[in-house]
A and B are shown apart, each in its own frame.
Chain A
Amino acid sequence: QSALTQPASVSGSPGQSITISCTGTSSDVGGYNYVSWYQQRPGKAPKLMIYDVSKRPSGVSNRFFGSKSGNTASLTVSGLQAEDEADYFCSSYTRSSTWVFGGGTKLTVL
């Protein structure tokens, strides 16, 4: 049950786009379309931003876009805003009927 691999940090200026990658294996990310992304602000509980690779829950901005290719999923945030600054975690269902999270990525809006 190794954690999914995410970059430790990414940054961008307001209005720009950034992409966060999430790499797993064929036993998790690559084997199922059950990848989700969470935003966590300091001191707060995580919030679901993307599920089933690319679906957005009601109320989540359409500036957040999810995709997947092979064993790597990606979260793209377009039109960066100051309020997007947070930690982002990916997650995937696994072949063992368990779930696994990524190590997290700190997004800084410059």
Chain B
Amino acid sequence: QVQLVESGGGVVQPGRSLRLSCAASGFTFNSYGMHWVRQAPGKGLEWVAIIWYDGTNEYSADSVKARFTISRDNSKNTLYLQMNSLRVEDTAVYYCVRGIDYYATPDIWGQGTMVTVAS
């Protein structure tokens, strides 16, 4: 079955960096666009970034642009999110999400990994 397993979360100080990973299985990874979506404690969902199935294009939310970079390694069936210059407001559960159809509608979600930015 389709499975997405995030890792790499933890507690980090403001201004530091962290890299999240998402291991995908149960589907042809290199045929799907992939997203990162986050959810701050007790808050709603916030879309973070998308990368096309072949990695040729990526887009991100204004709130993380120039600080976060989405990437993928199709040979390893793995999605990444490099997070630099972290801020307290980046504290959230980060979900890896598969995208279906031409515009990569988010469909299958991982269980998420918690990132806490605090001094």
* A34 contacts B105, C-beta separation under 8 Å: yes
What band does the interface of chain A fall in when counting residues whose beta carbon is under 8 Å from B? Answer: 20 to 34
Most A-side CB within 10 Å, residue of B46, B60, B110: B46
Q: Total A-B pairs in contact (CB under 8 Å)?
A: 65
Within 8 Å by CB of A57, from B44, B61, B103, B107, lies B107
A57 to B108, CA, bound (A): 11
Within 8 Å by CB of A36, from B63, B105, B108, lies B105
What band does the interface of chain B fall in when counting residues whose beta carbon is under 8 Å from A? Answer: 20 to 34
Within 8 Å by CB of A98, from B44, B59, B108, lies B59
Known: A99-B50, A101-B47. A45 touches B95 (CB 8 A): yes
* B44 contacts A91, C-beta separation under 8 Å: no
* A89 contacts B100, C-beta separation under 8 Å: no
Contacts of B112 in A (CB 8 A): 45
Chain B minimum-CB-distance residue to A105: B44
Contacts of B46 in A (CB 8 A): 3, 101
Contacts of B103 in A (CB 8 A): 32, 34, 93
- Per the 8 Å Cβ criterion, residues 40-55 of B in contact with A are 44-47, 50
Contacts of A98 in B (CB 8 A): 47, 50, 59-61
A91 to B39, CA, bound (A): 14
Chain A minimum-CB-distance residue to B100: A51
* A100 contacts B47, C-beta separation under 8 Å: yes
Q: Does A102 contact B (CB under 8 A)?
A: yes
Within 8 Å by CB of A45, from B59, B63, B105, B109, lies B109
Given A45-B95, A45-B111, A98-B50, 15 additional A-B pairs, CB 8 A: A1-B61, A1-B63, A34-B105, A36-B105, A36-B106, A45-B110, A48-B107, A51-B101, A51-B107, A52-B101, A89-B44, A91-B45, A100-B47, A101-B46, A103-B44
Binding site for A on B (CB under 8 A): 35, 37, 44-47, 50, 57, 59-63, 95, 100-101, 103, 105-112
